[in-house]
């Protein structure tokens, strides 16, 4: 129940999301992969990997996470800016 509720929330939640897809992948494939791809406000990166993708493509994943965080920070207003 908790997992299903969380999934429902993620479908439309405005919070930025990064989906790290593995190709060919072993765990998140088919309909489950497509469901995750449908979530709102999400960026996707595909890395080479099967089961332990963090071991198969650590550099690519690290670069994707770094780029994702930088893009979020670039889009966010500076909290110190009181002119808004």
Each residue's pLDDT tens digit in the chain (84 positions)?
898 898 899 999 999 999 999 999 999 999 999 999 999 999 999 999 999 999 999 999 999 999 999 999 998 877 777 665
Is residue 40 situated within a structural domain? yes
Is residue 21 situated within a structural domain? yes
Is residue 26 situated within a structural domain? yes
pLDDT value of residue 56? 96
Beta-bridge partners for 23: 48
pLDDT value of residue 1? 84
Provide the domain count of the chain.
1
Are 80 and 52 spatial neighbours (Cβ–Cβ below 8 Å)? no
Is residue 32 situated within a structural domain? yes
pLDDT value of residue 84? 55
CA distance 53 to 69: 20
**What are the φ/ψ torsions at residue 59 (nearest 5 degrees)?**
-65, -45
pLDDT value of residue 19? 97
Is residue 71 situated within a structural domain? no
Q: What is the span of the domain harbouring residue 45? A: 16-50
Is residue 77 situated within a structural domain? no
Stated pTM of the model:
0.81
Are 17 and 43 spatial neighbours (Cβ–Cβ below 8 Å)? yes
3-state SS class at 68: helix
Is residue 20 situated within a structural domain? yes
Q: Where are the beta strands (DSSP E) in 1-84?
A: 17-24, 42-49
Is residue 43 situated within a structural domain? yes
pLDDT value of residue 83? 66
């Amino acid at each position: 129940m908790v997992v299903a509720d969380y999934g429902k929330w993620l479908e439309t939640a405005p919070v930025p999301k990064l989906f790290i897809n593995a190709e060919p992948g072993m765990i998140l494939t088919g309909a489950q992969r497509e469901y995750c791809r449908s979530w709102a406000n999400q960026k996707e990166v595909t890395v080479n990997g099967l089961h332990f993708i963090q071991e198969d493509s650590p550099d690519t994943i690290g670069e994707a996470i770094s780029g994702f965080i930088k893009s979020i920070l670039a889009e966010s207003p500076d909290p110190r800016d009181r002119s808004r």
